[in-house]
Chains A and B, each alone.
Chain A
Amino acid sequence: MGSRLDPGEGGVSEQRFASGFLFPGAVWLLLFFLVPLGILLAISFGTTDDLGNSLYGWHPENYRDAFDPLFAPVLLRSVGYALATVVLCLAIGYPIAYYIARFGGRRKNVLIALVVLPFFVNYLVRTYAWVAILGDEGIFNGAMNTDIRFLNTPYAVIGGLVYGYLAFMILPIYAALDRMDPSLIEAGKDLYGSRWHTFRHVTFPHTFQGVLAGAVLVFLPAVGDFVSAQLLGGPDEYMVGNLIQQQFFAAENWPFGAALTTLMMLFLLIFMVMYLRSAAKASREAMA
C-alpha cells in the first residue's frame, strides 16, 4: 500500500477526515456485497421445499455433487473461451488504446467516451442485436447476399464475449499509456531502437500492469458469462455460467446453484490473488 495513509505523513486528523468518506462505501459493500455473500453461502448448504423455497440446513452433499467429473469439460471450456477472449481483446484493444493515448490529441476524451458509449445499452440487449444481425437470414447475410452460418458456434460465443468486454481491456491500457512519459519512446528511438524494439523494450513493459489489469477485468466476467453462450451458442458451447443459471432458473435448485457459485468464486479468487500480488510487486519495484 502507498504510504499516504500512514498517520505520520498526513496527520491523524486528516486520516480521520478521509476515513469518514469511506463510511457510505463501507455500508454499501456490507449491505450489498457481504450480506448477499453470506446468504449465498448459507443457501449452498441448504435444501428446498416442494415450492422450491430454499431451506437452511446442513447438506454438504451440494458441494460433493459439484465435484462431479461431468462438469470438468464445462469448466475447461469456459476457461478456454475466456482466455481466447482475453487474447483477442488485447490484440484489438491495445492498438485502440495506443492510438487514443498517443495520437488522440484534443479528441482523446471524445474517443474514450465512444469506447464506453455501448455500455449505455444493456449487454443482454446488445447481444440480442447480434442475433438479429448474424442470423441465417439476418441483416448481414441479407445485405451481403451470403449464406454464412454464424450463430450457434464457438466463434459466435467468443465474438460475443470480446464484444461485451473489450472496453475493460482498452481503459486500463489507455490509463497506463496516458501516464507514460512519451519522451521515453523518443529516448528509445534516439538509442537506435527500431519501432518494434522500442515497443517491446520500452512501451509494452511500461504498460504491462495496465495489460494485466485489463486481462483480469476481461477474464473474470468472461469465464462466468452465460448470456453469450445462451444467445449465440449451440448445444456444445455450454459454459459454467449456463450451468449455474440452469440450477437457479430451470432446476429450481438454488442450493446446488449456490454451491457451484461459491466454488466458482473461490476458483476465480486464485486469479485475483495472483493479479494483486503481481500488482503489489510492481508498485514496490516502482517505489524502489
Chain B
Amino acid sequence: MSLSRRELLRSGAGLAIGAAGLSGCQLNSGVQASAGETRKPFAKKIDGDLAYFNWGEYINPDIVKDFEKRYGVKVRESNFDSMPAMMAKLRAGISYDLIFPTAEFAQRLIRGNQLRVFDHDKLRNADAVFDQFQQPWYDRNSAHTTPYTIYATGLGYRGDKVGELSGTWRDLVSPEAEGRSFILDDFQEGIGMANMVNGYDLNTVDPEELDRSKDFLIDLKPKLRGFSSDTIGNMTSGNAWIQHLWNGDVVNVRNQVDNPEDFKFQKCREGIPVGSDTFAIPVNAKHPGTALMFIDFVLEPENAARNVEWIGYPMPYRGGAEEAFAGLVKDDPSIAVTVNDLDNGQQYENLEGEGRKAWDRAWTQVKVA
C-alpha cells in the first residue's frame, strides 16, 4: 500500500519536472497555427452543423431557427460573457465554426493566425457594407472578418426610479440610484470609463494615469451594487436602476418588459467608447462552409433588419439594416451610434504585452480593494 503510494507521488513529481523541462514550449497546441493554415480554401456550402459562439442574447433567435429550417442543419449555440472568456475557450482548442470578436480582439486573433481567410465575393450582401469598413484598421482588406455591429458604451437607467441623469459617468453613483448601480465586469470598459472621466486617452498605458483611474473606480465601489455584465438580466429583474452597458442592450431590455418607456440610455459627456463586433471563422473550424452560409443568411437585408430590431444594435450595412436602425433611433435618438462616431469617438485598441498587464493589474486591484 504505502509503497505504491510513494511510487505514485514520485511519478507525479517526475511529471511536474518533466513538464517544466519543456521550457519554452507552448502548452496548448490546439491554438498553434501557421499563416498557411488560415488560407486553406473552402467552399461556401453546408458542410455540417454550426458550432456558434457569441455573446448571449446577441442575435434574433428567429433567424437561427429559420436558418436551421432552410438548410436542415443544427446551430449549436454557446455563449461567452467577455472577450477574455472567449479567448480562454479558443486557447483550450475547442473548435467553433463562427465567433463574434470585437475589432481589437479580431486583430489579436489575426496576428496569431487564428482566423480563416474567406472570400467576400462569396457573400452576396457583403458589398452593402459601409465604406468605412472597406479597409478596417484591425483587418487589412477585410480578409478575415466582416462587420457584425457597431456599439457605444454608456449608462442604461430607470427613468421611473432615478429621474433624469445629468450627462456624466459620475451619475453611476447618483444618490437616486440608492446603491442599485452596476459597472460592467469587463476590464476594458471599467478602466476605459475611468480613463475618460479623468480626461486621459481611452487606451492610455501610462502607469500614473492608470493608477488614478484605478483610484477613481475604487472610490466608486462603496456606492455600487456590483460588477456585472449580465446587463439585460440586471435591468429586467429590477436589480439595476443604473447599469453601465452597451447601447443596444437597452432596446433588448425594452422588448422584454411591460414598461419600456421607463428604460433609458445616456451617452456621457466625458467620452463614449465606440467599437464594432465582427463575424469571424476560427482556423480550427470544422464547418467553415456552413459558417459562411450563416453569415450570408444574417446579412440578407430582411434578416439583418429584423436582427437589428431585436438586438438593438446597428449593423453597418446599407439597405434593410440601415433602415431598421433608423427606425429605432426615430423612437429614441439617445441610442444612435454611427460610423462617424467610430472616426470621432474613441475605440479600444488591442493592448499587448506590458500595456495589457498594466490594465489587468489595475482591474484586479479595483476588485480586491
Contacts and interface: CB of A to CB of B under 8 A. Distances in A.
Nearest to A71: B368
A138 B237 contact: yes
Given A39-B19, A56-B23, A135-B239, 11 more contacts: A26-B4, A50-B112, A50-B352, A51-B112, A53-B26, A53-B91, A234-B224, A234-B225, A250-B82, A251-B364, A253-B360
Contacts of A71: 368
Interface residues of A, number: 54
B239 A235 contact: no
Contacts of B111: 50
Contact of A235 (B28, B32, B91, B221): B221
A42 to B, nearest CB: 4
A217 interface: no
Given A70-B365, A151-B239, A152-B225, A53 B15 contact: no
A135 B237 contact: yes
B112 to A, nearest CB: 4
Contact of B367 (A5, A43, A242): A242
Contacts of B22: 42, 56
Contacts of A42: 16, 19-20, 22
B16 A51 contact: no
B85 A249 contact: yes
Interface in B1-32: 1, 4, 8, 11-13, 15-16, 18-20, 22-28, 31-32
Contact of B368 (A57, A70, A252): A70
Given A26-B4, A71-B368, A34 B26 contact: no
Interface string A30-58: 10001101110111011001111111111
B8 A249 contact: no
Nearest to B357: A253
B238 A135 contact: yes
A152 B182 CA distance: 11
Interface of A: 1, 5, 19, 22, 26, 29-30, 34-35, 37-39, 41-43, 45-46, 49-58, 70-71, 73-74, 131-132, 135-138, 151-152, 233-236, 238, 242-243, 246-253
Contact of B8 (A29, A55, A238): A29
A278 B107 CA distance: 57
B144 interface: no
Interface of B is mostly: helix
Given A37-B12, A250-B84, A252-B84, A243 B367 contact: yes
A58 B17 CA distance: 12
A242 B16 CA distance: 26
Contacts of B310: none
Given A22-B4, A52-B87, A70-B368, A236 B25 contact: no
Contacts of A238: 367-368
Contacts of A30: 8, 11-12
29 contacts: A1-B1, A19-B4, A34-B8, A34-B12, A38-B12, A38-B13, A38-B16, A39-B27, A50-B108, A51-B91, A53-B26, A53-B27, A55-B24, A55-B27, A56-B22, A56-B25, A71-B368, A152-B226, A235-B221, A236-B222, A238-B368, A243-B367, A247-B364, A249-B84, A250-B82, A250-B85, A251-B360, A251-B364, A253-B360
Nearest to B30: A53
A41 B224 CA distance: 37
Contacts of A135: 237-239
A32 to B, nearest CB: 12
A136 B235 CA distance: 11
B175 interface: no
Given A38-B12, A250-B84, A53 B31 contact: yes
Contacts of B31: 51, 53
A62 to B, nearest CB: 12
Nearest to A233: B226
Interface in B132-178: none
Nearest to B185: A250
A205 to B, nearest CB: 31
B360 A250 contact: yes
B112 A74 contact: no
Contacts of A236: 221-222
B11 A52 contact: no
B226 A54 contact: no
A53 B30 CA distance: 10
B15 A58 contact: no
A135 B239 CA distance: 6
Given A54-B27, A55-B26, A251-B84, A73 B368 contact: yes
A158 B8 CA distance: 38
B226 A136 contact: no
Nearest to B238: A137
A251 B187 contact: yes
B353 interface: yes
B224 A251 contact: no
A120 B1 CA distance: 34
B238 A57 contact: no
A45 B27 CA distance: 13
B363 interface: yes
Given A38-B19, A56-B23, A57-B23, A50 B353 contact: yes
A280 to B, nearest CB: 14
Contact of B239 (A19, A49, A136): A136
Interface string B101-128: 0000000110110100000000000000
A142 to B, nearest CB: 10
Nearest to B356: A252
Given A51-B112, A57-B24, A34 B239 contact: no
A151 B111 CA distance: 42
A213 to B, nearest CB: 21
B88 interface: yes
Contacts of B16: 37-39, 41-42
A45 to B, nearest CB: 7
B16 to A, nearest CB: 4
B200 interface: no
